[in-house]
A and B are shown apart, each in its own frame.
Chain A
Amino acid sequence: MSPETALLLARGQFAFTIGFHIVLAAFTLGLAQFLMVLEGLWLWRKQQVWLSLWRYWSKIFALNVAVGVVTGVVMEFSFGTNWSGLASRTGAVLGPMLYMEVLVAFFLEAGFMGVMLFGMGKVRPWVHFMATSIVALGSFFSAFWILAANSWMQTPDGFVIGAEGRFQPVDWWAAIINPSFPWRMAHMVAAAMLGTACLVAACGAWHLLRDARHPAARHMFSLAMWMLVVMAPLQIVLGDLHGENTRDHQPVKLAAIEGNWNPPPPGEGEPMRLFAIPDMAARRNHYEVAIPDVGSLYLRHNLQGTIHSLNQYPQDTLPWVPLVFWSFRVMVGLGLLMTFAGVAGLVVRLRRRLFHARWLLRLMVLMAPAGFVAMLAGWVVTEAGRQPWTVYGLLRTAESASPVSPSLVLGSLVCIVTVYLALFGLGLWFLLRILSRPPQRDEEGAMPDVARRTGQGGAE
């Protein structure tokens, strides 16, 4: 097996494990906020429907978090198993950020999750609401630290390179709040909310198609559609800001996103390419369909501005352009679709047809995975787009890998794919089974027996 193949296997393994984990983690982040809102509404309005919605979604949350946590444990070790070059060179900077994630986020989530899921009736209502809110806050902390670590690799700052090429921290503030971090954090949190909103909306829509008067289905659909109409346009703004940051700090990535091999003729702006098949060998696009000058509008916010082009850079510093180019278009396409759905939801709501517009309900069912697919596509853009570097411009991916035999990497990849697909297939099946039934008035929470049969105080 050639070293390139071995590297590709290790990268494939990381992409696969993080791909699963990131969806679960983002769904946790989104659902945690959703549950906090539901419980807040229950405490404030005292309407039974909020409680049954809370209990319904808390079961989904429990199942999702279980798998999210354990797939996260895998990630914490994989920097050593497969990327020991990266670990030994950057551990002094990245290690503390991952450590902080465990210390301030994982413990908080794990600790208060027990009370949140099983403790309603065992502790006072406000204590329980506090537990739910802390879990929600913990998921933010988690996103904060892990995105700080990722952003540092994209736009490293606050370090010096010492002996044997080891990165050493000199300014923690600069390393953590590095140039791309605030935008990445905002963009990712919004993506998690949108992904969750799409799933909740789909569940609500599915049940409304069967019974348009179902109160719980109405409430969840309505909340999710509000979320969509607020977050989707906001996400476009955040995405644009994040893009400007990429333009300034990772110009090659932006050029790959745009499929921009050569600068436009003098006097013209950048085109907006709608379709192209980038060719790495010929270093140009085939079958390009583009609108002149429009690209400058969103890249530079004028009609003449230009960006870097790929042919300015040597071949061995370019990412695989087709993947970056197309993933970006998938992400943006889905983003526009979500914006359309959000606005459409607002329009039919104003015409008092939100729960009866069957075309919209059907569209929302179909769009169930749209948010998370868009998020994954976005991650492919940013991660494939920074290749061939792990620490941008400083440490190559090839130098980051572990000196383990390629057959071990292949073997572990096969095992991981088999186990993950089998377990998640199973998990998804149980998840869909819960979701296929609408929330009942007397909905039970996750494992009510824990509350009934443990501890001192009885269950409600």
Chain B
Amino acid sequence: MSELLGLPWLQTLSAAALAGSLWVYVLLDGADLGTGMLCAFQRDADARHQLNLSLLPVWDGNETWLVLAAGGLLGLFPLAYAITLSALYVPVFMMLLALVARGMAIEYRHYAPRLFDTMLVGGSLLASLSQGVIVGSLIMGIPNDGQQFTGTGWEWLSPFPLFCSIALITGYCLMGAGWLNWRCTGSLEYRARRAIPWLSALTLVLVTGLLVWTFFLHETWRQHLLNPWLWGPLLTIAAVGLAVLWIGLSGQHLFLPMAAIQILVSCAFAALAFTLFPFIVPVNLLIQQAAAPVKTQQFLLLCFGLLAPITLAYNTWVFRVFSGKIH
């Protein structure tokens, strides 16, 4: 086997490892960031306290997947890392500073709840907004000459990336609502449960809008999105996800709605990832053009393959230690 999906298999696997890390990041920290934003709507002191308790043992691990993706991008596709991050200079720094404020807010909350709750909401919102802008800018395309970034650094300040960030913020809030419904009790659980249906509807509309807009952005994206092997399976899985969500909500299940939301979010993630594939810096740099030498990718993938399952295992154990309803 020398090729996989039309590329040398090592490079395809590298791209998959990277996408995989980002995917896990979105599933974990998306719910985390969404929970942070939903804190804005909690008036009750115990509700905010519960919300903080649900994040304390896990936020750090969730965020680590983002760092893994950044390190992975540097190692696997150094050129893409260099071009993308200098192009997205402003939103990346916005995101980083927001994450600094928010991480601190979670851990320090005990000492000044009102101040740090505000910081949590602000930080979560700004971080999500920046991530949406980053995704949007990637789909729009990064100006470069194949060696380095050639734009002004303000390309992200345009309607499409901003629309993407609205969609992402809504999606994250939906995941946050799923998390609160699963983990919390009292008014927090009740309100989260009530919010899930309309948040899902809104997310669905916004993501559909995003895909339609993407469809009209570039000829390549159009071709990819029209591929029945892309939309066929994804639509099927999304339909299953919606059904599960409906069952979960009407049957008063605790975890099922969260699982369904994660399925739906994964579909949206996969749709965008496969639309951009095989570009690593849209719309001109392909995966093989930015790939690190074989020796680097081999080393990295070997470590990832050996260590990622162990990582997942002990992180699952930690989740289990603090699992169940906060009482």
Please state if A88 and B148 are interface contacts (CB–CB under 8 Å): yes
**A66-92, CB under 8 A of B: which get 1 and which 0?**
110111111011011110110111111
A456 to B319, CA, bound (A): 12
Stretch in A237-245, A335-343, A352-360, A446-454 with 4+ CB within 8 Å of B: A446-454
Docked complex Cα distance between A455 and B325 (Å): 7
**Residues 103-121 of chain B, each 1 if its beta carbon lies under 8 Å from chain A, else 0:** 1101110111000000000
**Segment of A179-187, A305-313, A401-409 in the binding face:** A401-409
In the complex, chain B residues whose CB is within 8 Å of the CB of A100: 303
Interface of A (DSSP majority class): helix
The segment from A36-44, A110-118, A295-303, A371-379 that touches chain B is: A110-118
Shortest CB distance B81–A (Å):
5
Interface of B, helix, strand, loop or mixed by DSSP: helix
By size class, the interface of chain A is 35 or more
Nearest residue (CB) in A for B57 is: A114
| Residues of A contacting B324 in the complex (Cβ-Cβ under 8 angstroms) | 454-456
User: Residue B213 at the A interface, CB < 8 A?
Assistant: no
Query: Across the interface, do A107 and B57 meet the contact criterion of CB distance under 8 Å?
Result: no
Known: A95-B296, A102-B71. A455 touches B86 (CB 8 A): no
A66 and B103 contact, CB distance less than 8 A: yes
Which one of B56, B90, B97, B315 lies within 8 Å of A111 (CB-CB)? Answer: B315
Which residues on the A side are within 8 Å of B300 (C-beta)? 95-96, 99
Asked whether, in the complex, the Cβ of B322 is within 8 Å of the Cβ of A118, the reply is: yes
Q: Which chain A residues border B308 with CB–CB below 8 Å? A: 103
Interchain CB contact under 8 A, B295 and A169: yes
Chain A residues whose CB sits within 8 angstroms of the CB of B106 once the complex forms = 66
A114 vs B58: C-alpha distance when bound (angstroms) = 7
- Residues of B in contact with A, size category: 35 or more
B321–A107 touching, CB < 8 Å: no
Interface: A11 (CB within 8 A): no
Docked-complex contact A450 and B57, CB < 8 angstroms: yes
Are B292's CB and A402's CB within 8 A?
Answer: no
Task: Select one of A79, A420, A454 contacting B53, CB under 8 A.
Answer: A454
CA distance in complex: A415, B130 (Å) = 15
Stretch at the interface among B149-157, B167-175, B203-211, B235-243: B149-157
Structural contact, A169 and B104, CB atoms closer than 8 A: no
**Alpha-carbon separation in the docked complex, A66 to B59 (Å):** 10
B307 located at the interface, meaning its Cβ lies under 8 Å from any Cβ of chain A in the complex: yes
Select A95's contact among B54, B76, B112, beta carbons within 8 Å. B76
Q: Does B101 contact A (CB under 8 A)?
A: yes
B104 touches A70 (CB 8 A): yes
For B154, give the chain A residue with the smallest CB separation: A408
Judging by beta carbons under 8 Å apart, are A80 and B327 in contact?
A: no
Known: A73-B96, A95-B75, A106-B64. 6 other contacts (CB 8 A): A63-B108, A72-B67, A113-B60, A118-B57, A433-B111, A453-B327
Which residues does A use to contact B, with CB under 8 Å?
62-63, 65-67, 69-74, 76-77, 79-82, 84-85, 87-96, 98-104, 106-115, 117-119, 122-123, 162, 164, 166, 168-170, 172, 402-405, 408, 412, 415-416, 419-420, 423, 426-427, 430, 433, 446-447, 449-450, 453-456
A-B contact list, 25 entries, CB within 8 Å: A66-B108, A70-B103, A71-B100, A72-B67, A73-B70, A80-B70, A80-B73, A82-B86, A87-B82, A87-B85, A88-B82, A95-B300, A96-B299, A96-B300, A98-B71, A101-B71, A102-B67, A103-B68, A111-B311, A113-B60, A446-B110, A447-B56, A450-B322, A455-B324, A456-B324
